[in-house]
Amino acid sequence: MESQDKQTLLNLARMAIKSKFEDKKIKVNESKISVALKQKRGTFVTLTINGKLRSCIGRTIPVQELYKDVIENALAAAFSDPRFSPLKKEEFAKIKIEISVLGKCQKLKYKSLFQLIDNLEKNKPGVILKKGSNQATFLPQVWEELPSGEQFLSQLCLKAGLQVDEWTRNPELETYSVEKIQ
């Protein structure tokens, strides 16, 4: 992605959050939005303060244009992540915004748990874990905190509301890459 497009996405995310604090609606001049940012893509917006997670919201499935998804996810991350209280106005200047633009999700096939762990630890992709009606995802950036495949999958199971070892019982797994913008 062009550096100008990356900067546009970061600006839109920040403007969206700021506009909510100012009780205004964000105005986007669509004629200035590039063709690349009008493609449908899955995105996540992560907010951190002093290197600590403040919130992260997004979707793995592309449902709307990239720039619109970033605006929506920035607002949701700032004000609607159920794990955190809504962002306060005095925190706004301290937040660091990171946008993850997702590549296409691929079903992960493996013959053994050893092969699964080896593949994941080598490639460090984003992972979606599904079992019944439960599902969760971790972005590839989570590998920095959970470098072991077993740990990564165990925590992903917990996030999905499953038993910690459910990953050993053939859940559906999909992987994806991200383009990180910060």
**pLDDT one-digit tens code per residue, 83-109:** 999 999 999 999 999 999 999 999 999
123-161 residue pLDDT tens: 999 999 999 999 999 999 999 999 999 999 999 999 999
Write down the pLDDT at residue 1: 86
What residue type is assigned to position 125 of the chain? P
Domain limits at 18?
A: 3-102
Domain boundary among 102, 131, 163: 102
Query: What is the rounded distance in angstroms from the CA atom of residue 182 to the CA atom of residue 175?
Result: 22
Write down the pLDDT at residue 93: 94
Domain boundary among 68, 102, 136: 102
Residues 62 and 119 placed together within one structural domain of the fold = no
Our measurement of the distance from residue 62's CA atom to the centroid of its chain's CA atoms, rounded to an integer in Å, reads 12
Using 50, 70 and 90 to split pLDDT, how confident is the model at 175?
very high
Is 181:10 a contact under the CB 8 Å cutoff? yes
**Extended beta strands in the chain, E state:** 43-49, 52-58, 95-102, 106-107, 126-131, 134-138, 172-176, 178-181
What residue type is assigned to position 133 of the chain? S
CATH of residue 128's domain is 3.30.1490.150
- Mean residue pLDDT of the chain comes to 95
Mean pLDDT across 167-171: 94
